[in-house]
Structure 1
Amino acid sequence: MAQAVLTGSKLRLVFQVGMDEEGKPILKSKTFNNIKMESTTDQLFQAATAISSLTNGMLNNLERNDSSEILAE
């Protein structure tokens, strides 16, 4: 049986920084590496809210990307 071991976590913030000529949103993202793997969803949301208050863009999306290594037992 194989086992997945969590090896890392990243936090990606996507900001809407404007609109193009066709009225579609212009999005830019910023990724933060080495996020503590034990961080809760609420903690990550609070951090993203604090970071977004320092930018000119509006927070559009927030993603947590976990990486795992799959090991054979």
Structure 2
Amino acid sequence: MAQGLLETTKLRLVFQAGIDNEGNPILKSKTFSNVTKAATADQLFQAAQAISVLCNGDLNKVERNDSSEIIG
């Protein structure tokens, strides 16, 4: 039976930096590596809110990106 071993976790913050000529939002992102694998969704959201205060633009989305190795 195959198993997935969690290798890395990254936190990605997406900001709305403005609106283009067609009325679509301009999105910019910032990714933070070396996030602890044990972090909960609530902890990551709180960290994202604290970081967003220091950045330009409105926080649009918070993503958690996990990478796993599949072994069999």
In 1, Cα distance between equivalents of 2:70 and 2:49? 33
Moved over 2 A (4+): none
TM-score (norm 2): 0.96
In the alignment, what sits opposite 1:2?
Answer: 2
State how many pairs are aligned. Answer: 72
Counterpart-to-counterpart distance in 1, 2:55 and 2:3: 40
Q: Deviations over 1:21-61 (max 9, x none)?
A: 11110000000011000001111000000010111200001
Structure 1: stretches of 5+ with no match in the other structure: none
Aligned-partner Cα distance in 1 for 2:67–2:22: 37
TM normalised by structure 1 equals 0.95
Amino acid in structure 1 at the alignment position of 2:12: R
